[in-house]
Amino acid sequence: MNKRFCGGFLLALILILAACTTAEVADAIMITGFDAKGEPLDEVLSYKPDAPEFICLAAVLRAPPDTKITFVWTYKTQNIEIDRAEVPVSGSKAVNSKLTRGEKPWPVGDYVVQVYIDDQKRYANAAPFTVKE
Q: How many helices (H) and strands (E) does the chain have?
A: 1, 7
How confident is residue 7, by pLDDT bands cut at 50, 70 and 90?
very low
Q: Mean pLDDT throughout 44-55? A: 98
- Mean pLDDT value of segment 10-30: 66
Q: What is the CATH number of the domain that holds 78?
A: 2.60.40.10
Reported confidence tier of residue 22, pLDDT bands at 50, 70, 90: confident
What is the span of the domain harbouring residue 71?
Answer: 22-131
Residue 95 lies in a domain: yes
Number of domains in the chain: 1
| pLDDT for res 99 | 97
What Cα–Cα distance (Å) separates residue 58 from each residue in 30, 43, 68, 96, 100? 9, 12, 12, 6, 18
Task: Note whether residue 8 is domain-resident.
Answer: no
Q: How confident is the model at residue 37 (pLDDT cuts 50, 70, 90)?
A: very high
Residue 80 lies in a domain: yes
Residue 1 belongs to a domain: no
**Is 11 part of any domain?**
no
Query: Mind listing the pLDDT tens digit for each residue in 66-91?
Result: 999 999 999 999 999 999 999 999 99
Query: Would 16 be classed as within a structural domain?
Result: no
Supply the DSSP symbol for 119.
T
Check pLDDT > 80 for residue 1. no
